[in-house]
Amino acid sequence: MSLTRRDTFGLALGALALTVLPFRANASVDDMIAEFTGGADIGDSGVDLTAPEIAENGNTVPISVDAPGASEILVLAAGNPTPAVATFAFGPLAGSRMASTRIRLAGTQEVIAVAKLEDGTFARTAKTVKVTIGGCGG
């Protein structure tokens, strides 16, 4: 394969988009986490996120979150056009602090779970999911 001028230009544009996009996505993820925690420090332990390592179809990726003693769990997908996925709030009759659902992922990316624990502290975990076919149409 020989590279034409047009190909080279396209590649350069693609590379540029790749370097610029993650920064933008991450900024909004950080904002959303800050809004959820109110700027409090976030610990590493206390929340579990179960997600497949490789998801063939980004349209339905099964995930489950579990954080003993949590009152709320925020789930974010850092690489989606809109990173918010869901917020689970547990009531007085919640049998445990776990929930599972199925989510859409636009591509290979990190899924983040932030839990608000009952003692007022926060815990965060993240897991990278490889997606073969993205789930946001297009």
Partner 1 sequence: MASGVKPRVKVPKSASAGEVVTLKTLISHPMESGQRKDKDGNVIPRSIINRFTCDFNGQNVIDVKMEPAISTNPYFEFEALVPEAGEFTFTWYDDDGSTYTDTKPIEIV
Q: Could you list the residues that contact partner 1 (CB under 8 A)?
A: 59-61, 64, 77, 80-82, 84-96, 98-105, 135-138
Nearer to partner 1 (CB atom), residue 43 or residue 130: 130
Q: How far is the CB of 135 from partner 1 (least distance, A)?
A: 8
Nearest to partner 1 of 44, 92 (CB atom)? 92
CB 127 to partner 1: min, Å: 15
Distance CA 39, CA 20 (A): 25
Can you read off the two tokens belonging to residue 133?
């076919």
113, 49 in Cβ contact below 8 A? yes
Q: Which is nearer to partner 1, 39 or 137 (CB)?
A: 137
| Cβ 119 to partner 1 shortest distance, Å | 20
Give the residue among 43, 106, 45, 120 at the shortest CA–CA distance from 76. Answer: 106
Cβ atoms of 133 and 92 closer than 8 Å: no
